[in-house]
Amino acid sequence: MAISMPRGLFAREFDRAPFYHEFHYWLAIAYLGLGDVERADRELTIALESSSTRNGRAIYAAKLDRIKSYRGQ
């Protein structure tokens, strides 16, 4: 039960603001931790596109490049 509670809270927040870039960033990190590089790439791309600042987009672009480098390994 303790595992599903944080997942449920995250899902509720995600439903509340589905295009908030940080939610997609953290979801990308979770997918990467699970070894799902494709989904991590997809979520980080959404974070990049949803970011409202130039600096935020630059940071997400760098992180996306790093994730894409994992595919080459």
Tens digit of pLDDT for each residue in 2-46? 455 566 777 787 788 878 899 889 888 888 888 888 989 998 999
In this model, does residue 47 exceed pLDDT 90? yes
The residue-averaged pLDDT of 54-73 equals: 86
Total number of residues shown for the chain: 73
Q: Which residue has the higher pLDDT, 58 or 17?
A: 58
In this model, does residue 1 exceed pLDDT 60? no
Separation of alpha carbons 29 and 43, rounded Å? 9
Q: Is residue 24 part of a domain?
A: yes
Structure tokens at 20: 């908030």
Separation of alpha carbons 48 and 57, rounded Å? 5
Q: Is residue 1 part of a domain?
A: no
Closest CA to 20 of 43, 51, 41: 51
Model pTM? Answer: 0.76
Q: How many domains does the chain have?
A: 1
Q: Is residue 41 part of a domain?
A: yes
Q: Is residue 2 part of a domain?
A: no
Q: Is residue 31 part of a domain?
A: yes
Q: Is residue 49 part of a domain?
A: yes
